[in-house]
Structure 1
C-alpha cells in the first residue's frame, strides 16, 4: 500500500476461506553502512567487511547497495560486531551495533576510512658523545628516558638511530665507533623492554658531518662536538607492509589529519626550542646550535611542516635599535637552518624588538632580561 504495508493472498491449508489475505511483517532489521574516505567521498569497492552476531559462530552475508553502501539483514533483539578493512587504511571496528529495542526498520551507520601515515616521523632528538667514546653521557640520559617512556606508551612508534663521529681518526675506525654508539642507544633502551625489532640502527662514521670540520681542517671543539652524535627519529607506523589497527591512544583524535598524531606528541615533548642570546648580541651560542641541529633534522624529515621564527630583545635601548637587533637574531637562526639544508621557502621570520617581552620590566633581574632576549620557533602546518 501507499503507507508501506504489505499483504499477500494464499490458499494455503489452515486458512479461513479459499483464498485468504495475510499481512506481512518484517522480522529482520536492515543495516545500511556508508563508508567514506577522508575527503568525504563514498568508498564503493576494494574494502572487505566481516559482520558477526555476538555469541554466535559464522558470519552474516553482506551486500552492496546501488549507491555503494554496505547492506545486511539483522536478527531482531540481537547484538553485532562489524569489521571493515582496506589495504593501507586503519581498520574499523564497531561492536555497538544492536537491534535490541530498535523500533525502526533500519539501522544506519557512517564510517570513515583513514590512510595509515606510514613511516611518519613524529619526533627528533640528538644525543652527543665525548671524543672517541660510545658511552651514553649523563646529559643524554633524560633524552633517551623520554624516548623510552614514549615508546612504552605508544606501541605504534619505532626508533631509527643514525650514529656519527667527527673526522678525526681513520674512516674504518670511525665507522666502527659509530656502530658502537648506535649499539649503546639500543642497550640503554633495554630497561624499557623495547624489543630490538622496534629499533633500527644505522652508522655512518665521519661520512655525514654537520659542518666543514673535515680531515685536517682546524675547528673549535664545539664544532667537532656537533659531529659526535646519534640522531634519534621516532617514526609512527614504520612498516609499510603491515596493516595497523587504529591505536587506542588515537580513538578520540581526528585520524584524517595526518599531523594530528604529530601535534599531539609535540605538545607532550615540547620539541621546538627557544634560542636565547647574550646582551646586545645576535650570534648563536654553542648550546643552541645543538637544539637547532635537532630542529633541522625534524624539518628535513617532516616535509609538510613550516617554521615560524620570531626575534625579540630585552627592553633596554631604543625601540629602533632593538627592532634591528631582533631582526638580526631571527635572521641568524633562519640562516643556520638554511645552511643545514632546510628550504628557506618553508620558513618565515619576523622581528618585534622590545614590543613583546616575557617580562614587562620596570626593574628586571638579569635572568628576566635574558628571557626577553630570545628567538621563538613555532611549527606550523
Structure 2
C-alpha cells in the first residue's frame, strides 16, 4: 500500500536557543590593563628597575595564559551544545530527509519527463497539421519542438497549448510559407532568365540555395551572358576572317588555274602550240593562247643558283610537269632540308652566300 503523506506535520523544525552567560568584571579588568599599559609602555628598562619590570612581565604573562586557557574552556563549553545539535541534525534529520527527497525526486522527474514527452507530442502534432495545410514539409519546424513544449506555454493542468502560443506558431508557419513561395518564385525567375540567356540554370540555383539574393544571382547571370555573347562574337569574327581568307586563297588559285600554261621546245625554246596536256590525275592544262609572245633566246653565261619556294595551285600533276620541263631544259635542282642540301647536311661544304 502507498503511504498517505498528505497530513504530515513535518513542515518545520523548531529550535530553542539560549545564549551562554559569562560573568566577569570587565570594567575593573580593563582599568587595570590600561594602568599597566600606561606605566610600562613608555618606561625605559634600567639596571635599577630591571628586577621590578621582569617580575611584572612574568605576572602579566601568567595572567594572559590564564585568561587564554579560560577562553578556550569557555569556547569548548559553548560549542558543545552546538556540536551535539549538529550531530543529531546530520544523522537523525538531514540525511534521512535528503534520502527520501531524492527518492521523491526520482518519481517526480519521471512524471515530469513523461509530461514533457506528451507536450512534445502535442507540439509535433500541431506543427505537422499546420505544415500539411500550408503545403510545407511536416518536419520543417522539428528544431522548434522543444521551445514550444515548455509547461508555461500550455494551459494549467491540461495538455492544450495556450491561444497565444498557437497564434505564435501560426505566424511562424505563415512566415515560412511566404519564404518558400518567394523562393519558388525566385527559382522560377532564374529558370526563365536562364532560358532567355541560353544558360544552364543549375549553378545559379545553387547560388540561390547558398543564400544569395535574386538580384545578385540575376546580375551574375547577366555577366555570364555578356561574356558568352562576347566569346560568340569573337568566334564568329574569327570564322568570318578564316572564311574570307579561304575564299581569297581559292580565288587566287582559280585565277592561276585559268592562266595559260605554255610549253617550250627544250632545244629551240620555241612555243609548242599543241592540244592541252592531261595530267596523271586527269587534270587538263589549258593550251597557250595563240597570241603568246616569243620567248627570248639566252646567251651562254656562267651557271647561277637560286633558292626558291614554288607553289603549284593545281597540285602534284602540275609540279610533275614543271619538273619534267626543268629536266628537259637542263636545269638541275635539289631538295633543301632545314635550309641545306643533303651534301651540306652530311658534311659537305656549306654555301657561304
Shorter-chain TM range is under 0.3
Structure 1 or 2: more strand by fraction? 1
Higher normalized helix content (fraction of residues): 2
**Structure of larger gyration radius:** 2
Q: Give TM-score scaled by structure 2 length.
A: 0.18
Taking structure 1 as the reference length, the TM-score comes to 0.17
User: Higher relative contact order at CA 8 Å, sep ≥6: structure 1 or structure 2?
Assistant: 1
